[in-house]
Amino acid sequence: MDIHTIVKQVMEELQKEGQLEGSGRPDVISAKSFNSGTREIIYQNHKQVGVEQPANREEIEKVQSITPARIGIGRTGTRMKTKNYLDFRIDHAAAQDAVFKDVSEELLKELKLPVLYSKSETMDQYLMDLDSGRKLNDISRKWAEENLPKNKQVQIIVSDGLSSTGVEANIRDLLPALVQGLKSKNISLGDPVFIKRSRVWIQDDLASIVNCDCVISLIGERPGLATAKSISAYLIYQPNEDTVEADRTVISNIHEGGVPPVEAGAHLADLIEEILKHNASGVKLAQLK
């Protein structure tokens, strides 16, 4: 069931409860009709204290304001209330969409990123066969060998990973901030690329082609019920066949409710400078700093 079906069900349920736009209730649903016959449904979810006659409403509201967790929602018998159950279903549908939807072609054209592919031919293969997402397919490998600049200090990879929504929401701000930060430090940079259905380890494969010092992967993070719009950055210095996970440096939770993308871009540029200075990443870098 996709998110549009879920939202439609939410609208119908809340219509029964009188929670419509203009009702004065904290949940707002509005619908716009278009000449094409389609409708755009907007559901704005606002946190509210669902506990009946709470001993300290202000304290619950304070905690709700600083966490996305479902706190103070109350219950009906042994179950959550209808509104909270419907909110949960919407968040779950958004998480599923983040995994299975593709990053839009419009965004890729806007960012002017070459599109490469892993060996995963379908999303099902990507989810079930981890190794298929860790190598470029033959066509992309050949293209990279013939077209990407070689022997640069840094190579940037953007990947949909497990959240195309995260890429859509953050990369417009994150990528330019990172590139600008690296250029301001006079760090040489190869052409950033987008790799569909790729995993973190594909950076090792691409590094062997372009012969760079440091690879950074900006990849969609596994979505949760708190947010489906997060991405992570994985950095590694000169990966090879002996590389292990401890050799990678990771910055996660890059999204509007975590580390803002512009701020993350500047921080990552500083971090790459440190990696190049110490010729190390991951645990080794932490030990040297």
- How are strands ordered across the β-sheet holding 154-159? 115-117, 193-196, 154-159, 214-220, 231-237, 249-254
What number is the average pLDDT over the span 9-17?
60
Average pLDDT over the chain, rounded to an integer:
83
- Residue 235 carries which side chain, given as an amino acid letter? L
Residue 221 annotated in ligand binding? yes
Q: Which residue has the tokens 């890429």?
A: 167
How far CA 182 is from CA of 130, 160, 179, in Å, comes to 31, 23, 5
pLDDT of residue 98: 52
For the stretch 23-81, pLDDT in tens is 344 444 454 544 555 555 555 666 778 788 888 888 888 887 877 777 888 888 888 88
pLDDT at 142 over 50: yes
Whether 108 has a pLDDT exceeding 90, the answer reads no
pLDDT attached to residue 70: 76
Tell which residue, 130, 158, 132, 124, has the closest CA to residue 232: 158
Give 39 or 147, the one with higher predicted confidence: 147
Distance from C-alpha of 237 to C-alpha of 253, rounded to nearest angstrom: 22
For residue 277, is pLDDT > 50? yes
Please determine, for residue 263, whether its predicted confidence score (pLDDT) is greater than 60: yes
Range with the lowest mean pLDDT among 79-88, 148-157, 269-278?
Answer: 79-88
Whole-prediction pTM value? 0.72
Domain annotation for the chain: domains and CATH numbers? 3-100 (no CATH), 105-288 (3.40.50.11240)
Confidence of residue 100 (pLDDT cuts 50, 70, 90): low
HEC string for 170-197: HHHHHHHHHHHHHHHCCCCECCCEEEEC
Q: Would you say 274 is a known binding-site residue?
A: no
pLDDT cut 70: percent of the chain above it: 78
Q: Which residue has the higher pLDDT, 227 or 183?
A: 183
Give DSSP secondary structure letters for the chain.
--HHHHHHHHHHHHHHTT--TTSS-S-EEEEEE-TTS-EEEEEE------SSS-S-HHHHHHHHHT--S--S---BTTB--HHHHHHHHHHHHHHHHHHHSPPPHHHHHHHT--EEEBS--SHHHHHH-GGGGSSB-HHHHHHHHHHS--S-SEEEEEE-TT-HHHHHHHHHHHHHHHHHHHHHTT--B---EEEET--TTHHHHHHHHH--SEEEEEEEPPP-SS-S--EEEEEEES--TT--GGG-EEEEEESTTSB-HHHHHHHHHHHHHHHHHHT--HHHHHHH-
pLDDT at site 29: 46
Residues of the chain above pLDDT 90, percent: 47
pLDDT at res. 177: 97
Token couple for 262:
């512009």
pLDDT in tens, 162-196: 778 888 889 999 999 999 999 999 999 999 999 99
Structure confidence at residue 20 (pLDDT): 41
